[in-house]
Amino acid sequence: MNQPALDLVADRHRRILERARQTGSVAVEALASEFGVTPQTIRKDLNDLAARAMLARVHGGAVVTSGVDNLDHATRAAVASDAKAAIGAAAARLVPEGASLFVNIGTTTEAVARALTNHRELLAITNNLNVVDIFAGRAGIEVIAAGGRVRASDRAVVGALAMDFIRGFRVDYAVIGASAIDTDGTLLDFDVEEVRVSQTIIAHARKVILVADRSKVGRPAPVRIAGVDAIDYLVTDRIEPHLADACREAGVAVIETEAEAG
């Protein structure tokens, strides 16, 4: 391949990565149309990027990371940020004023916290120090931070001490995230300690709200949090048909922010 052709490929790879980081995922057919190339060319591009651990291939496209390590907090916060803000606002509407709730680790749960800042008489318990900062100084919100080991990468409190702390509460709602969701509804994550804290939160809440954008669906992650039947609500931007079927069978209420906007 000559140098001009190599430059075109490199530029297309750069633009594909930019698009993936903005939206969380990319689809073969949409990229082929955007760049005026064949789907086969895009599949080769995605395979090349996956081989360099810059994307992870899924059916029909790719997502922004591999199945063994999560992205850093700042990068995750930038992925699908508009979708996360809409999801956060929709999830916040499920929480009445005067409620008690857990807010778990994750950039999407942080979007929910930002949308809750004007609620009154909330009791918020969290193992996410970023959420503590979001709620700080809000007159209508009492914040209780879990104790335990603080993970430097994202300021999450994880481990046995955090689990013991959470067991001392029984709250109205839990707002949780997941790094990945299988199409059968299985919730997945990367860190065993984080998963155990999530499982403890789920067990000590009357209602569980899962917040996740569509890039999480079909993304590989190695550690199981729970099945879809452990949650009461799924708030997402757009739901994949197989996951919608799994939610329906489990009696999970699904809120799609793109459908609401339309």
> DSSP alpha helices (H): ranges in the chain?
3-23, 28-35, 39-51, 73-78, 81-92, 107-115, 129-135, 160-166, 192-203, 241-250, 257-261
What lies within 8 Å, CB to CB, of 23 at 6+ separation is 79, 80, 83, 215
What global pTM score does this model have?
Answer: 0.74
Q: Strand 171-176 and strand 100-103: pairing?
A: parallel
What is the phi-psi region of residue 137: left when phi exceeds 0, alpha when psi lies from -120 to 50, beta otherwise?
left
Lowest-confidence pick of 4-18, 30-44, 90-104, 220-234 = 4-18
- What pLDDT sits at residue 69? 46
Q: In whole angstroms, what is the distance from residue 183 CA to residue 249 CA? A: 13
CA–CA distances in Å: residue 84 to residues 13, 30, 37, 202: 25, 22, 31, 21
| CATH 1.10.10.10 in the chain, residue ranges | 3-63
Using one digit for the tens of pLDDT, what is the confidence trace for 3-24?
667 778 888 998 898 888 667 6
* Annotation: CATH topology of 3-63: Arc Repressor Mutant, subunit A (1.10.10)
Q: In whole angstroms, what is the distance from residue 63 CA to residue 46 CA? A: 10
Q: In whole angstroms, what is the distance from residue 76 CA to residue 63 CA? A: 12
Using one digit for the tens of pLDDT, what is the confidence trace for 246-258?
999 999 999 999 8
CA–CA distances in Å: residue 42 to residues 22, 91, 253: 18, 35, 36
| CATH 3.40.50.1360 in the chain, residue ranges | 73-261
Average confidence (pLDDT) over 161-188 = 94
| 218: nearest Cα among 197, 238, 199, 232 | 238
* Annotation: CATH topology of 73-261: Rossmann fold (3.40.50)
Which residue is listed with tokens 């999480």?
216
What lies within 8 Å, CB to CB, of 230 at 6+ separation is 187, 202, 208
